[in-house]
Structure 1
C-alpha cells in the first residue's frame, strides 16, 4: 500500500510542476480592452546603406487608456511607439535587423579604443510563434496580459532615402 501511495504522490508532484511552464496565458478575445484593425508588416531598407528592418503596425479601432507594453515578433521583443493623429491611433513596433559591426580599433591607448561602438543587445522572446504571428503584452489593473495575433499581412517593401542627403 505504501508503494501505491508513493506513485500517487509522485504523479501529483510531476503534474503540479508541469503547470509552471504555462504561466504566460493569452488573454481571450473578450478580455482585451481594444480592437485592432488590419495588422501589417512592412519590410524596409535605407538607400545606400546596410540598414534594414521591419515595422509592424497595430492600428486601433477604439482609443482606450490601456497601453501596449511590448510586442513579441519573430523571436524578438520591442516596445512599440504610439502614434496618434486626431482620432487615428496606431502602435508601431520597429525591429532593426542586425547590422554587421564596423571597424574595431584595437590600440594600446584606451582613448583611441573608446570610439568603438558597443554591441547591440537584442531581447529574445520566450514565445514560439510562426512568422506571421505576434504577441502583444499590456497591463490591466497592474497585471500583465498577453494577446496573440495571427494572420498578419505583409505589405510592399519600402526604400527610405539616405539620411546624409540634404
Structure 2
C-alpha cells in the first residue's frame, strides 16, 4: 500500500498507534499502583498478618430503665391516662421565638434524658388534632434540635412525640405572621 499518496490514512494510523501505546502504558501504571497500595488484596493474605477484620453488632437488650412517675405540684403521684403519654415522661420542648414571619425558621430544641437515640416526630395541633409535621430528629446526648418552616399564619402549637414509645413533650406556641 502506498502511504505517501494517502496522508490522512497515515495520520490516522499513527494516531491510533500512539493511543494504543499510551493506553497500555497507563494501564500498566495503574496495575503497578494498585499492587503497591495493596488495593484488592485478600485480608487473610495481607502482609499485616493476623485475623481479618470483622464487625459484630450486639443484639439490643432491655436495660430495664424505669419510666419516671408523673407527680403533681405537691409531689404526689399524678393520675395519668396510659393511652396518651404525658410530658412528664421526660421530653422537654422549648423554642426561643414567641413570633416569627411566615416561612421563617422556628427553632425547636429540648431534652430527653432517657431517650438516647430516639427518633422524635414534630407535630402541630390543627383544630384539636395532632398532625405530623414533615420533620423528625434524633436524640443525642440527651438533647435534640431542629427547625420548622410554616406559612400558616396565627398561633401554631407544636410538640414532639417519640415514634417508638409515643411519649410526648410539652406544647410550645409560636405566632406566625
* TM-score above 0.5: no
Bigger share in strand: 1
Give the TM-score of the pair, scaled to structure 2.
0.33
Give the TM-score of the pair, scaled to structure 1.
0.35
> Which structure has the higher relative contact order (CA within 8 Å, separation 6+)?
1
Which protein is bigger by CA-based radius of gyration? 2
Bigger share in helix: 2
